[in-house]
Chain A
Amino acid sequence: MIISTPKGREELEALLKDYRSLFLIGCGACATVCKVGGEDEVFATQEWLEETGREVVGSMILEEACHIMRSARELRRCKAQVEEADALLVLSCGAGVQSISNCVEKRVLTGVNSLFLGNIRRFGEFEEKCSLCGECILNETAGICPVTNCAKGLLNGPCGGLEDGHCEVDEERECTWLKIHERLEKQQRQGVFDRAVEAKDWSKKFRPGQHQLDKNEEKK
């Protein structure tokens, strides 16, 4: 799940100052769960836009804004309204925004900041566990990712900031390397402490990322 937060009203106000009429787009997937781009938020944003003297010429909730072809198709059904708008305001993650910006000529604006790939603890509570780094080390670190959970992404053990079991960057958080160490001890294995882990191969984290199932020869 992509976790995102809404941009502040002040920032939106500045962003929209030259636009009178807007077409509003939400997303039925992650943005709905994060409460940044579901029905409630699209409705609230519409009200706010109207209160601030703007016209909302139309709105829609895409099923999954990150689906490029489907989003383009859904949007084509509202072609007339989109034509009428000065700009489109999208309340979805940055991936969703780009599905839209690639299929219309009009200015496409985003109303949210995308944060991370998140696990859900409970409603409204999200935790980052994986950075999608392309070279997974979880098998050696007792299922705890240091790339994501260590503030410095260290691969060979804790830094000198370990204090009373806490992270120097956030003393509310337990040091990830302490957790890895304790779980490995419980499992009675050395795991990642058995070797000096090589410098990470960042070429595996392609930017921009591209992956096609049928062309993926590595898995064979």
Chain B
Amino acid sequence: MSRLSDKLAQQQFVMTAEIAPPKGFDVGAALAKAELLRDMDAINVTDNQGACMRMSPLALSRVLIDQGFEPILQITCRDRNRMALQSDLLGAAALGVENLLLLTGDHPKFGDHKSSRPVFDLDSVQLIKAVDGLTQGVDMAGNSLCSTPQFFSGAAVAPAAEPQLLVLKKFQKKIACGTQFFQSQAVFQRSQLESFMAEAERLKVPVILGVLLLKNIRMANFLNRNIPGVQVPLDLLQRLEEANDPLQEGVQIACEMVALAREFCQGVHLMTFGHENLIPQILAD
């Protein structure tokens, strides 16, 4: 089993972060960034993130494995139908990829290929179920596989999105279909995390809390305006605005979120946007 799944099974606190494959085939810069994330338990590799075309995350995942990293391969439903998805999943297993993050995917409208056809042959729940089937040796059409892959199947959730009751309904479906861990969107309010985690605890599924480094007030406002499911509350906006060193204040806020994660969740997923050097500070107790 993967290191990530082992640690979560042993109820150890895990740390993850993410890198994007290059727009090109030279993996040098991606590997340099991965090097800054050596201490992470696993590294997410994004799949045409923001609907912008980049190198296949499957290829970069294998390159990471060769360098001694443990990837979490992100797979979205936007660009491939069920045949292509299953085919890539079997390929992932052959290349030694075990951790998956199964996502719906951003709409092409947001990306750099706006006129491409959005596929969405499956939704994330159906993709999770398909992966569960593969790990039992059966494809989506009910055919037996000649060898059975092993995956550690993750999904995403936005605990701060409203209405939470609706978010929870989909969360429950994902669990019922075989999700083994969640990586969450950033949450900044204790109350939101507390009520969400009560449900996650009841359903006995580990949640890795998204912790986002707020660099300044501009970034926080941008998140509030443009990123669904992320809500930076007023008091934090004020702290960022009044701080002499907003980045340091952002680090402080991230530290507080890590503390919340240690209280309620099973790990943190760090989003530091080029400030990977600040990770040790964010994780310092």
Query: A181 to B169, Cβ gap below 8 A?
Result: yes
Query: A160 to B161, Cβ gap below 8 A?
Result: yes
A161 in contact (CB, < 8 A)? yes
Contacts of B78 on A, CB cut-off 8 Å? 152
Q: Which residue of the partner chain B has the closest CB to A181?
A: B166
B14 in contact (CB, < 8 A)? no
Query: B126 to A199, Cβ gap below 8 A?
Result: yes
Known: A160-B156, A160-B229, A181-B166. A199 touches B107 (CB 8 A): no
B177 in contact (CB, < 8 A)? yes
A154 in contact (CB, < 8 A)? yes
A206 in contact (CB, < 8 A)? no
A 101-124 binary contact with B (CB < 8 Å = 1; else 0): 000000000000000000000000
Query: B120 to A154, Cβ gap below 8 A?
Result: yes
A 188-214 binary contact with B (CB < 8 Å = 1; else 0): 000001001111101000000000000
Partner of B163, one of A151, A159, A181, A200: A181
CA distance A85 to B259 in the complex (A): 79
Query: A156 to B123, Cβ gap below 8 A?
Result: yes
B185 in contact (CB, < 8 A)? yes
B 113-145 binary contact with A (CB < 8 Å = 1; else 0): 000001011111110011000000000100000
Contacts of A196 on B, CB cut-off 8 Å? 125-126, 129, 173, 176-177
Contacts of A155 on B, CB cut-off 8 Å? 123, 125-126
Query: B107 to A162, Cβ gap below 8 A?
Result: no
Report the minimum CB–CB distance from A192 to chain B (whole Å): 9
Most chain B CB atoms below 10 A, which of A151, A160, A163, A177: A160
Most chain A CB atoms below 10 A, which of B121, B158, B228: B228
Query: A157 to B228, Cβ gap below 8 A?
Result: no
Contacts of A151 on B, CB cut-off 8 Å? 107, 109, 118
B6 in contact (CB, < 8 A)? no
8 Å CB contacts to B: which residues of A131-152?
151-152
B106 in contact (CB, < 8 A)? yes
Query: A157 to B229, Cβ gap below 8 A?
Result: no
Q: Which residue of the partner chain A has the closest CB to B227?
A: A163
B252 in contact (CB, < 8 A)? no
CA distance A162 to B185 in the complex (A): 12
Query: A157 to B166, Cβ gap below 8 A?
Result: yes
B216 in contact (CB, < 8 A)? no
A15 in contact (CB, < 8 A)? no
CA distance A198 to B176 in the complex (A): 13
Q: How many residues of A contact B (CB 8 A)?
A: 27
CA distance A159 to B102 in the complex (A): 12
CA distance A197 to B103 in the complex (A): 16
Query: A160 to B123, Cβ gap below 8 A?
Result: no
B 156-194 binary contact with A (CB < 8 Å = 1; else 0): 101001110111011001001100000001000000000
A168 in contact (CB, < 8 A)? yes
A178 in contact (CB, < 8 A)? yes
Report the minimum CB–CB distance from A141 to chain B (whole Å): 13
B104 in contact (CB, < 8 A)? yes
CA distance A40 to B188 in the complex (A): 59
Report the minimum CB–CB distance from B73 to chain A (whole Å): 18
Most chain B CB atoms below 10 A, which of A151, A177, A199: A199
Query: B104 to A160, Cβ gap below 8 A?
Result: yes
Most chain B CB atoms below 10 A, which of A155, A159, A202: A159
Q: A159-B124, A199-B121 are in contact. List 19 more A-B contacts (CB 8 A).
A: A152-B77, A154-B104, A156-B123, A156-B124, A156-B126, A157-B173, A159-B104, A162-B158, A162-B229, A163-B161, A163-B228, A168-B228, A178-B163, A178-B166, A181-B166, A193-B173, A197-B125, A197-B126, A202-B121
Closest 9 A-B residue pairs measured CB to CB? A157-B170, A163-B228, A156-B125, A154-B123, A159-B104, A199-B126, A152-B120, A181-B166, A193-B169
